[in-house]
Structure 1
Amino acid sequence: MRCAVFTATPRGTKTALRVRASLDASVDIFVKAGQDMPVDARVYERLAPQVETAFRQYDALVFIMATGIAVRMIAGSLKSKLEDPAVLVLDEKAQHVVSLLSGHIGGANELTRELAASLGADPVITTATDVQKKIAVDVVAARLALRPSPKVQIKRFNSAALADEPIRYVIDANLARASFYKKRLDDMGLTAVFAEDLSGGQETLTAFLTSEEGAAQENIIYLVPRRLVAGIGCRRGTAAAEIRAALEAALTKIGRSLADVSLLASTKAKADEAGLLALAKELRREIRFYPHEKMQETIDAYGLDESPFVKENIGIGNVAEAAALGSVSAGRLALAKTRFEKVTVALVWQK
């Protein structure tokens, strides 16, 4: 996850440093011009244009300022609960952490709880299902990296959960890693069954975990796995076994395995890299190599950090993140670029 933290005062900046230390994420701090700058902080003159850009680039935005300011800053950028980043608000003393936007799919509620626990603050969460301690269908989708469809069904299913109406979870028996999803649902206290199809029993609201959404039906919401893209950079001559080991280690960090990877991606400068080509063949996965122009467009669009050393050697300053994010129309970093001995890996969920 990439997180942007905005602060406007010296006291807020001190709290921003605590936020960065508390999160297991890639955190950029944006500080208003004219103040002392902490290490690696970014400066802004006007908040509105900086937030507008960050709204497209980051997975989560944290405002250490008044809630009203945050609301005005994000109002013009809102699109959809399936696309908007998580937005949180803190007071300067970090007494309260408010989940403001994208509480479920965007992960704002869980991030609020995590941050509040780390800072010793009170989490402020107002979504009805969370208040009533019910598991919303879009929370299930977010935790399992699934895409709920059609979107209009989310409200209906969550209203049913609040009313204690029965909702059954059915897993397509042919879905890749069906047993993994069954275990995760069991861990959430949700009973799930396997089925080849949804024939019969459709009078009950049904969340169907399947590889492809079917025709819209009154009582069904489809939960479809999102694509997971692995962006990979490596030193010249790195063996496939070493690349695979690094990729497996990266996937372990997010609780996933090679079976979850939909696509491999890298720079065109590595298009003849024997280890990468051999790994793609071994895993039976497509691998895409992008030209520098495409990679730079992605770096600029997401505001990705560039390594001067890498840029000097291959002509582009970010390989793993840029390749992975450039492979999807809109992506969320599941794992920021992570360096191993000879390999760098970034993992991206397609939004």
Structure 2
Amino acid sequence: MKVAVFSVTEEGKKLGEKLCLDFSHATLFHCPGKGNLKLRVKENFTPHQGLVFIMAAGIVVRMIAPLIRNKHRDPAVVAVDDFARYAVSLLSGHEGGANRLTYRVASVLGSAPVITTGTETQKTVVVGVGCRKNVTSAEIEHAVTSALEMAGVNLDQVRVTATAKAKYGESGLKEAMENLKLPLVYIEHDRINLVGKEHISESLSSEKHLGLRAVAEPCALLAAKNGGFLLRKCVIGPVTIALVREKNSITDK
């Protein structure tokens, strides 16, 4: 995906530079003046498949409103605040890929992804993934699909996958999730170790190599909202999978 990143503050510019290092086809447009921003957005709205704005969502809405055509032709639009607290899917979430772009941006910047698309809210399964170093994409894909089959879950019921931040450099993991068309988020280690021992199956290997009591189970729990285990830690070759199903705290009584 060819991505344009826009910033208006020095803080936003630094975040944009970080994003561009992670994306192979991304260009940063730093526009401290509103007139310049409006021109840059107009020039790059159509040529790019994804637009990431590091600024207030209200500014983004005003900039893109005159350019919007329809959900099948518009680019993916994501808004991020200057502190990178939230990454919000604003336009073309499903058809244009803004939801997946949001998850990727959130993973790079450590933001909380905000997705409101109806089709996404109906997905309630979160997949926690742990793996050995240099695992292949084929091994990951096999483990994920096998675990889902064991639990009687379809791939299209999965909302997101999650793993430890230490696995960020595992190209096989990224490739597998791209092939499966599943978003992947990375969980910080300090959050993982805050999950109580009573909630997870501890792993001596994870403790030794990563300093973590476990990976798959706590990552699945942390990436979910009001989640409960569908499938506890399951070792499939060099991969560990855990499945969690989310519950709606209001409607699921």
Q: Please give the TM-score of this superposition, normalised by the length of structure 1.
A: 0.35
Structure with max Cα Rg: 1
Between Structure 1 and Structure 2, the one with more helix by share is 2
Q: Please give the TM-score of this superposition, normalised by the length of structure 2.
A: 0.48
